[in-house]
Structure 1
């Protein structure tokens, strides 16, 4: 959350080791999203309503500029989950170091129709036209993913709405739901409580079964309190993802300082547990991103927050380079382990774009990227960057594009990567260089 000039990042953390367990709400603060100061945990198991764990949740800024955290508490060894709240001990403390968990917790307890062991991760609250607050909580019924909806007039007494905000069969448990508006016009984004106007709504879910984040775009019916995905959206495993790498349990928040929505995600690494224990940590918070609606209205666009540019060092530039088929151009002067790359490709004509097979699922981007890969030549593509390339290209990781044209003469341009040439062996032989390639 952003509060009184300070960004607050709360995250699930085990202070006793690099494995799952003993989870608390760790707390770090920043004034620029780049330089962070670690504070003591904001929330940790200490009372009967969270004795066995303080799991994920969200922050809401209430009227009067009062922040409140909603989080899931585990109350027994049977993994029974309830929804609790916490408030700052001293609202004048600029870093809000200490948080209180009042004794009227838990605020929400699962009724007989709710799976008590799959009932977690309350969202940031939004205000309805009736003046009541609403939140949604992730759950499941058998293999049906559910976004339960709760209402409150005072943020203390909550009532479950009979029908869920949204649900879908065959997806398994929904974790860390996120529900927010995006503007159809411009790049200025909206507070979570904006529910009307020239907007779409985003429903994001984290699927426990796949450990990836998926989203749909749609309409929030404020009369029925239901979310309806657009007709061409796909719920679940074959739907749109924020990211096609290790990216899970993300949360977004509205930044009123710059009228933007910022997305945070967590990367669960590929290292085995023994390696995590050996190095003493596991998992990373990824670079924060801004998210806006694509002008086509069919997907979200993401970009690293502008503050990241303050970390840039030496600039290496190649301009106005004409590339013919099979050309490769080495970008010299890159010696850092990380490089921030901005690249623009232009074409005299898109007439040679490959036909898009109508049997392909344009929303299953991972499968679409694998239809022809990075080595099969097409009309326009593949073209892009070869990163982590060895001198003779025995190893490399391409980040590439292909241009397709569908039956309505609209172009589809997936951005793909291909790890098939990215060996984990002989790391010391890798040269950190980038090559520009076009076919």
Structure 2
């Protein structure tokens, strides 16, 4: 411990003394000064406070813009993260400490992520960072509504990214909390876990982040246990079991070929909260037009337990949109666990011919990546029947329009490898 500990203290009058924590990775600007952002709160104002240092020991509030970003209504600005991303759509990451790119807003954008305490969600802003002015100009807003950009629309919080120098990529970790009881935590002796590490990059349109499980995860696939389905038509109301894998610990990738979108049902996406739409009783079982279609994960043989991860296509005032949901309402016969729905809606091209879904299943955790990682939903489920060898996986289509499984690949997964250093 440094003799000056703590080397950074909460500024009196600017923030609440007990709500000042969670520093970002520090970086050195082109002027040679170190910078770090610390999360804070003052009343209902969430604040990202910027500090400067010449020697990494003596820190002062930034003379230019110490209130780096202030957002009303979020409570504590927890676990802030700040990092650059390339705007050309490539998956390559950028080191925050690269002074050569800090002011290169023609090729770089910066992301400010905050953990929104009042909603327990990961919101982020994309914008331009002017280093010599310590100024971040966001191109979107955090409003506390379904319109906000989020890393994940499920139970995923307090994330942190780092730059992987070996593979030139940005990797993200996040906390996945429990949805069962405190007594369950006491009995098993632990609570919460880290989600699968994800690679993060900016979509080529410069408006949102893309995420995908890091490639190393594929080494855990049992290569001799792969199941493939090609060109299978899912007619209205049909269900297809994916057999031959351990469905309680699996990696599933599926591409759905879509019918013509013009037949899709209407939705006023500007006025509707997608989670409210998806919360309609047994929404996954409703007979829509293009959807719901997707996966039934951690399902019992008789389907009394199931977690549905699915899409529904809608016509909207701006064209077409896709609703992605994860429905936990039938995930367990237990009555003492949290069972709700999680959803998001995103615009799609009118010429879209197919949509993809990747779902990782591991006992009580389900992580899903829609449309090549454009949207993510992470959840915890606690089935009584659909466990270990009694868990099953299905593909379904409850829409009136046929949907085709263009291709599906599924693997049983090995336990993670722990390397002792």
TM class by smaller structure: 0.7 to 0.9
TM-score by length of 2: 0.73
- Distance change (3 Å), C-alpha of 1:424 and 1:201: farther
Q: Which structure carries more relative contact order (alpha carbon 8 Å, separation 6+)?
A: 2
Greater Cα shift, 378-387 or 292-301: 292-301
- Cα deviation, 1:289-309, whole Å, max 9, x if unaligned, reads 111122333322211111011
Is the aligned partner of 1:112 residue 2:71?
no
- The Cα RMSD (Å) is 2.3
Is the aligned partner of 1:402 residue 2:335?
no
Is the aligned partner of 1:123 residue 2:24?
yes
The whole-number CA distance in structure 2 between the counterparts of 1:110 and 1:429 is 49
- Distance change (3 Å), C-alpha of 1:176 and 1:320: same
Instruction: State the SS of the aligned residue for 1:413.
Output: strand
**1:187-266 equivalent positions in 2, closer than 5 A:** 187-193=91-97, 194-195=101-102, 196-197=104-105, 198-231=107-140, 233-236=141-144, 238=146, 239-266=148-175
Instruction: State the SS of the aligned residue for 1:121.
Output: strand
Count matched residues. Answer: 335
Is the aligned partner of 1:134 residue 2:35?
yes
TM-score by length of 1: 0.70
Instruction: State the SS of the aligned residue for 2:122.
Output: strand
The structure in which a higher percent of residues are helix is 2
Question: Pick from 378, 390, 393: which aligns with 2:303?
Answer: 393
- Distance change (3 Å), C-alpha of 1:148 and 1:247: same
Show the counterpart of 2:236.
Answer: 325
Asked if 1 retains the 8 angstrom alpha-carbon contact of 2:123 and 2:142, the reply is no
- Distance change (3 Å), C-alpha of 1:218 and 1:369: farther
Show the counterpart of 2:346.
Answer: none
The whole-number CA distance in structure 2 between the counterparts of 1:226 and 1:235 is 21
Instruction: State the SS of the aligned residue for 2:255.
Output: coil
The whole-number CA distance in structure 1 between the counterparts of 2:274 and 2:108 is 25
Question: Pick from 384, 392, 403: which aligns with 1:427?
Answer: 384
The whole-number CA distance in structure 2 between the counterparts of 1:427 and 1:371 is 24
- Cα deviation, 1:339-394, whole Å, max 9, x if unaligned, reads 10010011243222333415336xx6534644793233333211111122233333
Question: Pick from 159, 162, 166: which aligns with 2:69?
Answer: 166
Asked if 2 retains the 8 angstrom alpha-carbon contact of 1:386 and 1:398, the reply is yes
Greater Cα shift, 313-322 or 251-260: 313-322
The whole-number CA distance in structure 2 between the counterparts of 1:395 and 1:277 is 25
Asked if 1 retains the 8 angstrom alpha-carbon contact of 2:201 and 2:211, the reply is yes
Instruction: State the SS of the aligned residue for 1:320.
Output: strand
Show the counterpart of 1:316.
Answer: 227
Q: Which runs of 5+ in 2 are unaligned?
A: 335-382, 400-421
Show the counterpart of 1:360.
Answer: 271
Residue 179 of structure 1 deviates from its aligned partner by 0.9
Instruction: State the SS of the aligned residue for 1:415.
Output: strand
Asked if 2 retains the 8 angstrom alpha-carbon contact of 1:289 and 1:304, the reply is yes
The whole-number CA distance in structure 2 between the counterparts of 1:427 and 1:324 is 30
The whole-number CA distance in structure 2 between the counterparts of 1:332 and 1:154 is 60
- Distance change (3 Å), C-alpha of 1:190 and 1:124: same
Show the counterpart of 1:380.
Answer: 290
Show the counterpart of 2:358.
Answer: none
Asked if 2 retains the 8 angstrom alpha-carbon contact of 1:294 and 1:300, the reply is yes
Residue 166 of structure 1 deviates from its aligned partner by 0.5
Q: Which runs of 5+ in 1 are unaligned?
A: 1-100
The whole-number CA distance in structure 1 between the counterparts of 2:91 and 2:11 is 41
The whole-number CA distance in structure 2 between the counterparts of 1:348 and 1:236 is 34
The whole-number CA distance in structure 1 between the counterparts of 2:384 and 2:187 is 20
Asked if 2 retains the 8 angstrom alpha-carbon contact of 1:216 and 1:240, the reply is yes
Residue 281 of structure 1 deviates from its aligned partner by 1.7
Residue 105 of structure 1 deviates from its aligned partner by 2.8
- Distance change (3 Å), C-alpha of 1:111 and 1:436: closer
Asked if 2 retains the 8 angstrom alpha-carbon contact of 1:151 and 1:160, the reply is yes
Is the aligned partner of 1:274 residue 2:174?
no
- Distance change (3 Å), C-alpha of 1:429 and 1:143: closer
The whole-number CA distance in structure 2 between the counterparts of 1:223 and 1:353 is 50
Runs of 4+ in 1 over 6 A off after TM superposition: none
